[in-house]
Structure 1
Amino acid sequence: MDEETERGAEHSDREDEGPARTIRRQVKTAPRTGDVAPPPEREPDQEVDRGRGVDPERERRLEPVTDDADRSERAFAEPRSTVADDPDPAVGSSLPARPRRRGRGPITGSLAPYAGVLTVVCLLLVVAIIALVVVVIGARQPNIVASTDPQVVDSFDRSDADSLGDAPDLGPWEAIGAWGIVGGTAYLREPPSGDPRGFALLPGEHERVRIAATLRGLDGNGGLVARYQDPGDHLALYPVPTAGTWRISIVVDGEEVVSQDVGLVDTDDGARAELVVNDATAFALIDGQVRGRIPVDPAPDTGRAGVTASLEAGGSTRFDEVALETP
């Protein structure tokens, strides 16, 4: 082999050693022992989920194999919260677990749709309670049915007249004002001069007495009287239709010094009223039941008994089956 051929072969060997020398040079420039090499870059899908502390790649390896239908459903499933409800103890989490909510919440939440109905029911209950209290207070007196009704002394079952005439077995009525009879009932035709109220009195004066009558047309301010001395001194029982009650009153020297309502009592047409007066107390009975009482101390000691009415309401109350009882 000549000299030129040997030089060509040597040059070719040097070119073949070029890559090897490059590799050896890179090895020599590698970091020394003790230096920390940077970690290899991860693919985006291999990033650790910092919110849960779980490697998604590890979870995918643990998931069971699903078919295409399951994958489709999972693709449209609701996304998971980034806060773990029950963190995996094997993986751990730096975030506290969210507390579980127990129960169904406040009861008011479930009753909210019925708030209007409940309000109406409560109002009705309040009204019913108030009405019950009024009735109980109004009927303070026991419902004692009178043992006997006083004897009827005049039923006015005679012809219509411009006067009352005589009460059978008792004698003539004394009229304060002009009274008459119509349709078997007594009524006030015209009040006395200077006084809107008229009186029709039975004979005799009594300290203790029971006077009763059936009243029709209660708007005519009709009632019963006892211990009558004059228009300004007597004891009376009369209805108050506008208030749905009856009232016991004592009039002295023209002034009503004592009065008491007997509570809520029907003031219907045809009510049977009775005024009972004894030594110390006056009782009001409506349809046979005791409804009220007052002391009679301010009233006159004795007097006549009868009926009373006025024309202030445009007409007179009419009276039937007047009864009287004395000891």
Structure 2
Amino acid sequence: MTISRDQKLSIYDKSRELKAEFNELVDEFTEGLWRYCRYLTGSPWDGEDLYQETMVKAFGSIHQRWHATNPKSYLYRIATNTWIDHCRKEKRIIGSIEEEVLAEETVDGLEIEEALNHLISLFTPRQSAVFLLMEVFSFTAKEVAGIVRTTPGAVYATVQRMRKKLNNQPPKINSESNSTSKSIKSEHSIIEKYLNALNNGDLEGVLSIFSDEAYNEASLGFQEFSKDEMRSGSMQFGLPGLRAEKYKLWGRNVIVVFFDGEQGAEIHDIQYQEIENGKIVYHRSYYFRKEFMFAASEELGYPVQMDKPVVDWN
């Protein structure tokens, strides 16, 4: 059976409509989910990748649910199991969740925010997930047991043991915020050329720096698989005429694009590129990534542009 072009376009349109409905279904849980992914991985960048993978999997597999589903548990279950699978592939120790309870009652003076700094270094991925779900994101022991595939008794015992161990840890300085700075030196001259062309509104100058088969991704927004698709797609109306600067954000070199409005500079987009053989072969934009952009906003010290083309976060 041959599918016509119109049929293909109809499928694409329907999928976008369904995605919009899915986004409405899970909207109230996305901010917490992003924080969970960040804490679970120990990194904003890894957490963002886990969040995106979780959302793609959640939307792609929801048709398999034939029973009423709690959207929050559904999302956190996918995030947890996706991260554990990643850790298995990296040959990391996943750990078990034992039911044995401590014989002595522990004195609990634990500061949760401080404890989060120790999770990744002290505990296995499964243990970290149990602690976060129960102590930070307020799931019940029964819900946590279902997510990490264990028993409620094992959940209680694990949290108790972890709290005791965390209580005995000295304060840890979180250096994550110290790894952000302005106007870093570019690692590659191509980035300087891209930045200059972007700031000058030079569309052809920007496109000339991309390889013909470049992959252009606006995370959870759109994908383009060639320079021709970029020219006829996201760049068909030219460049937005905004200001772009180099930053190091959470240890990674990025370009921050600013909208200079009446209220001052606002973060319009955050981008990074990969270069090979003198060309940009991969370009990633976080334009559509609300939770990521707000976290970066706190780190960079600038507000996010709330109302921009096809996006309204007001």
The two structures have a TM-score, normalised by structure 2, of: 0.19
Greater strand percent: which structure?
1
Larger helix percent = 2
Higher-Rg member (1/2): 1
Q: Which has the higher contact order (CA 8 A, sep 6+)?
A: 1
